[in-house]
Structure 1
Amino acid sequence: MKSKKWTMRKAMLVLCISSVLFALLLQTFLFQKSLRRQIRAEIISDHEISLNKMQTDLSSFIHTIRGEMLTIYSEQDLINDMRDAAEQDTSLKDYYWRSWYFARKRFTKEDQLLAMYLYDTKDHLISSYRYNSVAYPKDIYKSEGYDDNSDRVYDYVHGKRTDLMISGYHNPDAKKDIVRLVLKLHNYDADRSGLGYLVCDINSAAFTSIMSKYVDVEQVCLWLQPLNDRVVAMTGQASDSQRRIQKQLAKAVENYYKSTKLEQEYDGNYLIQVSQENYNLEAFVLVSQSLLTATQKSLIRTLLIIMAAMLLAITIIVLFLSQWLTKPVEEMSSTITQIKNGETQLRVRPVGWSQELTTLGTEFNEMLDRMQVMAQEELQHKMLVERTEYKMLQAQINPHFLYNTLDTMSGIANAQNCPMVSGMCRSLSAIFRYSLNMTDELSTVQNEMSHVRNYLYVMDVRNGSTVAYDYQIDSETLADQMPRICIQPVVENALTHGLRNVRRKDKKLLIRSEHVGENLVITVQDNGAGMDAEDMNRLLKQNDMKRVESGISIGILNVNARLKKLFGADYGLHIDSIVGEGTTVTITVPAVSPEISDNT
């Protein structure tokens, strides 16, 4: 079934609309990508600004708490006795209620102090304050049922850090998240020897109230966490995936080390991290990608409406434009169809909107005129070819007449007891038959050597037997195929140019054939005058067909050209010669036997 081809108008319409559609889709795709990046960058920038402001407020709040803790130095009697206790190991039991009075006097309701513990240098509790005596332990080192982060406090106070320690834990009895602040107490002398330390537990709600002022809690997860420590405060209406990601990130921050690098995107959530300069307290926020989609969807929807309107407008324009463009072509196509159906006298009307169509119509009409002329000339040529073929058939009689005449002369010479004349006639007849029989361009080495022997017999009768011939023909090469009349021209060249004008009694001509690898190699060697082999090999390698057709050195160059044309540039003739000593011509062709030729 013949497939229906498209018209030019339909192809133009589809091409234009598909090109516009592709451009619009590409624009929409690129716009969506750039829009997504822009919205993401703006949201991240806004959150970073808010987080920096939040960190400033948190730093101010922590600084206030730290200042209130430092007022413990104003309790001179307590500080002096703590100094004596550190030096002389004296008792501090009289100060058990000091933390209660200190907390009531120094801390305000907004500080949301839940517990306070004062320890000496040996981690013995001096005094404590608890907002709820049941929910909070008397001693942080003796809490039961949950981990209140006392091990981190112990590592801190017995370590080399001097900054304010900020840590966090969850108190299941009070059902609150606690932010624990630890301040080392020391003498203000050159040694800065330790006096003890003060532990204050602050309700994390004091931190979350500050955090909620700067970040919209919907679809975000915001938390505070010191490096190498636990989360101290968290807020936001986090989704299940955000909670899962937050736990993973919090674990990574808790086990933080210098080579740790947090990614910026996790399953469609963007992580923003802002550090605090004064205290080891990092702010992290996970922003959901869904915040980007509302504005992005609205813009994409508008863009798709514009794209649909543009496609409709382009379709209407292309419909009218394609009709105007293709109408002259359709008229030309109709006229050409009529000419094809036999109305050969019709001509295309060269009209149209472009110079190309006018030129096409004019040239097509001229082509039709030339075709009519060529049809008449072809008829005349056909008649001439028929007459030529008739004459060629007549001319075939002449070679047969020549063969028969030479055979008759051979018979008469033999009857008249002239064996030399009889043999020469037979050789000439064989030479003519082999040379004029071109029904097959390939022959065998055996037939080629028979032709060479007939030629050499005629040359011996003509010039006298002055050359000694040596045939070293490998029997395995006799059936190999090669182009007809390749060896005889080389032999003729050796006799004519190598041995004829040499005054030497021991003139020799060697003809050898052998297999070398996968090639058939035939060598024709004489001990004649020699020649300039370098120039001749250059001509053989160039294989200039114009020189071959001109008739210059037609024997050698003709054989070389035929071999290269049939087998390729790697095959042909090569000459080795020494002036005064002789010349060797090597013929190289692929070793092809009739069996191999039939199989291929």
Structure 2
Amino acid sequence: MDHKKFTMRNALLVFCITSVVFALLLQTFLFHQTLRRQIRAESISDHEISLNKMQTDIASFVHNVRTEMLTIYSEQDLISDLRSAAEEGTSLKDYYWRSWYFARKRFTKEDQLLALYLYDTQDKVVSAYRYNASSFPRDLYQTEYDSNTERLYDYVHDKRTDFMISGYYNPIAKRNVVRLVLKLHNYDEERENIGYLVCDINSSAFTSIMSKYVDVEQVCLWLQPVGDQVIAKTGQASVSQKRIQKQLAKVVENYYNSDQLEQEYDGNYLIQVSQEDYNLEAFVLVSQSLLTATQKSLIRTLLIIMAGMIGAIVLLVFMLSRWMTKPVEEMRNTIVRIKNGESSLRVSPVGWSEELTVLGTEFNEMLDRIQAMAEEELQNKMLVERTEFKMFQAQINPHFLYNTLNTMSGIANAQNCPLVSGICHSLSAIFRYSLNMTDELSTIQNEMDHVRNYLYVMDVRNGSSVAYEYQIDNATLKDRLPRICLQPVVENALTHGLRNTRRKDKKLLIRSEHIGENLVVTISDNGTGMDAEAMNILLEKNDRKRVEAGVSIGILNVNARLKQLFGPEYGLWIESQAGEGTTVTITVPIVSSEEENGENITGGAHCEKDEI
């Protein structure tokens, strides 16, 4: 009785499920053996370390802004006049725009400066810069909303020498603003004040730094100077955390001391870190449940589980590797022997899984098909060689045709028939150029010789009813393009454009020039015109099957050859207007040839009515 073999996929599933169950059981056991207090202590320590790092980054940011503010002392004329104004009450109207230039010069986009104010000792605005004039007042002391100017006034008129950090909410700009204030004074023993500089910074500059240190939910992190309002806040706080945060912020704003704050509030743990350089405290409320859920102890436990899983997997794989890979090794050895020349060998489709059986069977069938294809390829090669031999024999006929036409040209010339001599000479040149395919590429000069021979024959056939104009740039004569590209387009212009028009001034213009890195050839007629849009769609589509099937051997064929040789961005483009004429533009990259190595087709007689 045949029974289905155990597949590799089923084996992997059983293996993975067993490993996961083992890992989960081990994790549960080790987690319950861990002390909760130890986990919470380590978590709090981690938060304190993160807050210290955050405070370092914030202090660095504030220090950079303060340094930029201190460069106001480099404005020597302004500082000198501020001293004079403080002592003698002189006017400072000439510095109305100085804050604007100072802000643009000293502050960068990363500083997120919203406004910059320079005040004298009489609390009058000397100069002001506002990123958005409609959102920030001209004078901080004249606002319709509470911009925390009372603390600003108390600070600048106090004997304090520290760097002030404050904050407020701007309802017009709809954003929280951090205010940095720097007192300006003389560098003498009295250190008398001469004014002060106020910078309003977007609080997002601080929250962007703070957000790097908040990576869990239900955490509320905020910055607040002692005795002042909250300047920045972030974190995904719960409803209870928001309520607790507002209560604690009021306590800190009223000049709290450390005994007033507890460590635990309604299931949340409070951690605070001070900053040595500036009056800026960092507070974070963390849920007690998170303290015991995502800590280093749990990470270490998971690492132990991972190590146990890896050890078990390595041991299991080592034990199963021989059994699983033995049939695969046998198949590999057989394949190597087949590659070394024993083509009659076949793989034995046996193995422990269904996949190996199918693989062996399909491999044997592939070898059979390859052998059949090799035999077919040999037959095709023999057929090609026979065809090439016949083509070599057929080369006698074109040479016979060339010689015959040249003989006819000589006889006609001797019998004083120059018209017959000229058409024989041109036909000989046309056939010789068309049938010689030793080189796929030709030059503009040879292509134009071929076109002139063709136009001469067409004039003899149809009468000289078309005026030809050639504007061939000498720099393009040696540029190379596929053989017989211009004549089909010229033939299309004569057959479909000029033949069906009744106008007497029929004209055909051929122009070649260099435009950028491209060779551009245009063939224009003043005939009946055509549906250029539909034709351009066919040219862009470039249906190779349509060309190969012989549906069109004219401009579609030329376009397909150009795109195949140079790329899809090159080829033909048609512009036409009914009753006015058609212009066909051929665009190819410049491929120059200093010297033609093939034949030099000079053509026969040419009938050029207008040549420029």
Q: What TM-score does the superposition give when structure 2 sets the normalisation length?
A: 0.49
Larger Rg: 1
Superposition TM-score, scaled by structure 1 size: 0.50
Query: Which structure has the higher relative contact order (CA within 8 Å, separation 6+)?
Result: 2
